[in-house]
């Protein structure tokens, strides 16, 4: 899933503005520029040419997304002095987004299953546990874009204050 779509979805879920996004990024040690923040929420995404000559829309960097997800954990749960800051991991995968959101929103396995069931995308406990395994584990399963999209939709239904 595109990194900017993940950030936009979380922004809508939490009902926060650009200033709060910048604050979340700063919590993880990243100093965003106004242009970077504007690029995330731009209606007209910048187009770039790839090596093979295709024109694609430019996506937010993995580094910025990784910092945003780490900052979101601090924003939602507070800073933990017991654990030293971990280096960010790039590229950001759908599995990583799912793991970070689970930590940030203090979700248990049952909560995630309920969230996915609420948007008519039920998964079994074994399927879910496979998403949270280490990527070199034999039972690891890649989180697809559709599952992450439905999870973000369900998260919005659960946490959006209207």
Interatomic CA distance for residues 7 and 160, integer angstroms:
15
pLDDT reported for residue 48: 55
For the chain, the domain total comes to 2
Give the β-pairing of 55-57 and 47-49: antiparallel
CA atoms lying within 13 Å on the CB side of residue 34: 0
pLDDT reported for residue 59: 67
Are 106 and 81 in the same domain?
Answer: no
Beta bridge partners of 49: 55
pLDDT reported for residue 137: 94
Are 73 and 142 in the same domain?
Answer: no
Interatomic CA distance for residues 127 and 140, integer angstroms:
9
Task: Show the domain range for 4.
Answer: 1-92
Question: For residue 91, is the peptide bond before it cis, meaning its omega torsion is within 30 degrees of 0?
Answer: yes
Are 87 and 105 in the same domain?
Answer: no
Q: Which residue has the tokens 């069931």?
A: 117
Interatomic CA distance for residues 135 and 130, integer angstroms:
9
Are 44 and 9 in the same domain?
Answer: yes
Residue 114, both tokens: 């309920």
Question: Average pLDDT of each block of 10 consecutive residues along the chain (162 residues)?
Answer: 90 93 93 87 64 64 91 91 80 95 96 96 95 94 96 94 54
pLDDT reported for residue 8: 92
- Please say which residue of 92, 109, 130 terminates a domain: 92
Are 126 and 63 in the same domain?
Answer: no
pLDDT reported for residue 51: 62
Interatomic CA distance for residues 36 and 38, integer angstroms:
5
pLDDT reported for residue 161: 59
Interatomic CA distance for residues 144 and 83, integer angstroms:
30
pTM (predicted TM-score): 0.87
């Amino acid at each position: 899933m595109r990194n900017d779509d993940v950030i936009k979805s979380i922004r809508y879920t939490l009902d926060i503005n650009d200033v709060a996004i910048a604050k979340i990024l700063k919590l993880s040690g990243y100093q965003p520029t106004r242009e970077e923040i504007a690029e995330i929420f731009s209606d007209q995404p910048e187009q770039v040419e790839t090596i093979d000559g295709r024109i694609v829309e430019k996506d937010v960097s993995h580094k910025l997304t990784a910092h945003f997800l780490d900052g979101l954990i601090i924003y939602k749960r507070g800073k933990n002095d017991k654990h030293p800051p971990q280096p960010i991991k790039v590229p950001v995968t759908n599995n990583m987004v799912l793991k970070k959101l689970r930590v940030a929103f203090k979700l248990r396995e049952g909560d995630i299953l309920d969230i996915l069931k609420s948007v008519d995308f039920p998964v079994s406990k074994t399927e879910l546990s496979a998403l949270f395994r280490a990527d070199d584990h034999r039972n690891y399963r890649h989180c697809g874009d559709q599952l992450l999209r439905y999870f973000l939709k369900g998260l919005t239904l659960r946490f959006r204050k209207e």
